[in-house]
Amino acid sequence: MPVEAVAVPAGTTTMEITVSKFALLRELTATQGVVERKTTIPILSNYLFEAAGDRLTLTATDLDLSLRTACAAKVKKEGSCTIPARKLYDYVKLLPDADITIKLLENHWVSIRCGRSNTKMVGMPRSNFPSLPQFPTVGSVKIPTAVLEAMIAKTSFAVANEESRYTLNGALMVLKTESITVVATDGHRLAHVERAGERFEGVSGEIKTLIPKKAMDEMKSLLDTSDSELVDFARDQSTLYFQIGPRLLTCRQLTGQFPNYEAVLPRDNNRSVVVNCEDLSAAIQRVAQFADERSRAVRVKMDAGELKISASSTDSGESEDSIETSYNGDSITIGFNAQYLLDFLKAIGSGSVRLELKDSQSAGQLRPGEGDDYKYRYVVMPMRI
């Protein structure tokens, strides 16, 4: 059921509701990641509460990202108010498990009563709160929640954090009639995951969308706690919309050209070795303790019968670990950033992993060793060692 802005009569300066602590805290927790902590616009540190019918709608925004959600409430007087978000969240957590009565007072103050606790908080005028876009009435696409959650987990860590590389500050989602692909890169590594065999009604050709990293992070936690099987996705000229059960996440679209990622995917990495994911992760973590702190570089050597991981630095010493393998090709040594490898291994979690190399100067590719429902590949640029 989509969350729409509740119809509160214009100029309303009253509001009185009763809501269960459990229901309110659940929605306050869901919106914490969106509330602006350090802002020059004070209203963005507040929630917008709107009461109508038999529910309370909560909205939080930082202008780039917003989340609108709702919970059941006994509405004695319909109306709206704004309340400092962080202070309310911290306070409600400490209240007993009982019903909470919230009432708008004069001068935008808000009264909060629960059991024998009685608090008044300083709000701000409802008119200061920015108006937010509504979910488009046409053109939405349904994406399975489990699929979107898995694809975000497999790619979001590779999104760039540098603001100068604007189009890399998000992941590219490509929807086709029977497949969905998500790609993320920061220029040093690239995560690419494709899921075929899904049927997306209303998609003709392909829909390419850049999703900002902050929206991906927020969506990850919303999908994680949602029992809704489908996400409704829509977009207009400037905004992306993700309806996840009763929660509507909206974000400003990234504009610009995402790099031609298909040109980066290796074609002839013909030397490969398959090892246990957890064994490789443990070996890299041990060895990385002795890598140079700035570069985090570890040496990976594919040799007959074994894979050697090593690192050394003048400050801390040197370390080497080896894993037995069935590799019988030519010896090859390459350097990688240890953290980049660990990010991918964590995303796989268990099972086996295949490392594919061409030579010591070309990008390496990793992918799950077996049974991959998602066509998942991870490309890492080599480092000088």
Identify the CA nearest to 101 among candidates 35, 209, 17: 17
> Could you say which architecture CATH assigns to the domain 141-261?
Roll (3.10)
Q: What is the predicted pLDDT for the residue at 39? A: 77
- What are the sequence ranges of the domains in the chain? 16-128, 141-261, 266-380
- The pLDDT tens digits along the chain (385 residues) read 455 555 544 445 689 999 999 999 999 999 998 987 777 899 999 999 999 999 999 999 999 999 999 999 999 999 999 999 999 999 999 999 999 999 999 999 999 999 999 999 999 999 999 999 899 988 899 999 999 999 999 999 999 886 666 667 889 999 999 999 999 999 899 999 999 988 998 888 899 999 999 999 999 999 998 889 999 999 998 899 999 999 999 999 888 888 899 988 999 999 999 999 999 999 999 999 999 988 899 999 999 999 999 999 988 999 999 999 999 999 999 999 999 999 999 999 889 999 999 999 999 999 998 777 789 999 999 998 7
- The four Cα atoms 300, 376, 160, 248 give a dihedral, to 10 degrees, of -150
Q: In the CATH scheme, what is the code of domain 16-128?
A: 3.10.150.10
Which is it for strands 239-244 and 230-235: parallel, antiparallel or unpaired?
antiparallel
Burial class (CB in 10 A: 0-12, 13-18, 19+), 1: exposed
Q: Which amino acid is at 336?
A: F
> Could you say which architecture CATH assigns to the domain 266-380?
Roll (3.10)
- Please give the full DSSP string across 304-347, using - where no structure is assigned: TTEEEEEEEETTTEEEEEEEE----S--EEEEEEHHHHHHHHHH
Q: Which 3 state secondary structure label does DSSP give 384?
A: coil
Q: Which two tokens stand for residue 95?
A: 């209240």
The tokens 């066509």 sit on which residue? Answer: 375
Q: Which amino acid is at 237?
A: Q
Strand order in the sheet with 364-368: 206-212, 170-176, 179-185, 189-196, 375-380, 364-368, 352-357, 271-276
Same fold, 16-128 and 141-261: yes
Q: What is the predicted pLDDT for the residue at 9? A: 46
How far apart CA 5 and CA 297 sit, in angstroms, is: 51
Could you tell me the pTM of the whole model?
Answer: 0.89
Q: How many residues does the chain have?
A: 385
**What pairs with residue 380 in β-bridges?**
189, 364
How far apart CA 265 and CA 28 sit, in angstroms, is: 42
Identify the CA nearest to 377 among candidates 350, 349, 353, 342: 353
Q: Max CA-CA distance within the chain?
A: 80
What's the Cα-to-Cα distance from 93 to each of 28, 49, 109, rounded to whole Å?
A: 10, 18, 20
